[in-house]
Amino acid sequence: MYTHSAENALVEQFLSDTSLTHLFMTEADMILPHDVLPKLVGLNKDIATGVYFLRADTLEGLGQPCLYKAPAATDPLKSKYGHSAVSIFPTDGPFEIDCAGLGCILIKREVFGKMPYPWFDLKEAAYGSDIYFAKKARDNGIKTWCDPSVTCGQIDYYTTTIDDWKWQVENRPGFAKYGFIIGNKATKEEFDGNNSSKT
């Protein structure tokens, strides 16, 4: 079964049990902190994510967070599924993000009722099922928030963690050269949804 087919089947199984309120998704190569679920549930957002860092076989790629911002809708050079990697993000409080992968993500039940099927898709390697899901959520007015205190490890021949990201930020000024930079954590008003996000 293709990944997106398995993800859609998982959601259908989840929705068949009306007692379930949230769906948590992770991947086999993730190391999750012990308090991941209390923190993400406590965030109380439609979609809540932690931070993990992509595997890389070069120094330049090490410590790259799996966080993405979508291009402006008016950018003619970007496809509708194009996203830019985030290199720098606030570590002192939650912030809004356009796409965060599916390695550590909590989704409220009602999200799937606001989005038409399929919730996940994958076509011709033009985008991943995570980017498809994130764009579809945004198109249906659903926001994703990240709690940077939920930091995960990802396993390969080594484990990449936030320590790799901190090393890049401190030792390689060019690390953020090609990545998106998100500013300060959200204000209380932004977090509560009373104003549009400035991040």
CA 58/CA 99 separation, integer angstroms? 24
DSSP notation for the chain:
--HHHHHHHHHHHHHT-TT--EEEEE-TTEE--TTHHHHHHHH--SEEEEE-B---SSTTTTT-BS-EEPPPTT-TTS-TT--EEEEE--SSS-EEESB--SSEEEEEHHHHHHSPSPSS---TTSS-HHHHHHHHHHHTT--EEEEEEEE-EEESSSEE-HHHHHHHHHH-GGGGTTSEE--SPPPHHHHHTSS----
In a domain, 59, yes or no: yes
pLDDT single digits (tens) 73-106: 666 556 677 788 899 999 999 999 999 999 999 9
Q: Assess contact for 186 and 197: CB atoms under 8 A.
A: yes
Cα within 13 Å of Cα(45), Cβ side: 25
pLDDT single digits (tens) 112-129: 999 999 999 987 566 789
Q: Assess contact for 68 and 78: CB atoms under 8 A.
A: no
Total number of domains in the chain: 1
In a domain, 145, yes or no: yes
In a domain, 198, yes or no: no
**Tokens 């990201």 belong to residue:** 165
CA 80/CA 86 separation, integer angstroms? 18
In a domain, 197, yes or no: no
- The pLDDT assigned to 195 comes to 45
Going by their DSSP bridges, the two strands 22-26 and 30-31 should be labelled as unpaired
- The pLDDT assigned to 124 comes to 54
Domain that holds residue 12: 3-192
- The pLDDT assigned to 2 comes to 84
- The pLDDT assigned to 57 comes to 80
CATH number at residue 148: 3.90.550.40
- The pLDDT assigned to 173 comes to 84
In a domain, 199, yes or no: no
The pTM for the full model equals: 0.89
Q: What pLDDT band is residue 65 in, cutting at 50, 70 and 90?
A: very high
Q: Assess contact for 150 and 104: CB atoms under 8 A.
A: yes
Instruction: Compute the average pLDDT of residues 17-46.
Output: 97
In a domain, 135, yes or no: yes
CA 2/CA 122 separation, integer angstroms? 9
In a domain, 58, yes or no: yes
Q: Assess contact for 115 and 142: CB atoms under 8 A.
A: yes
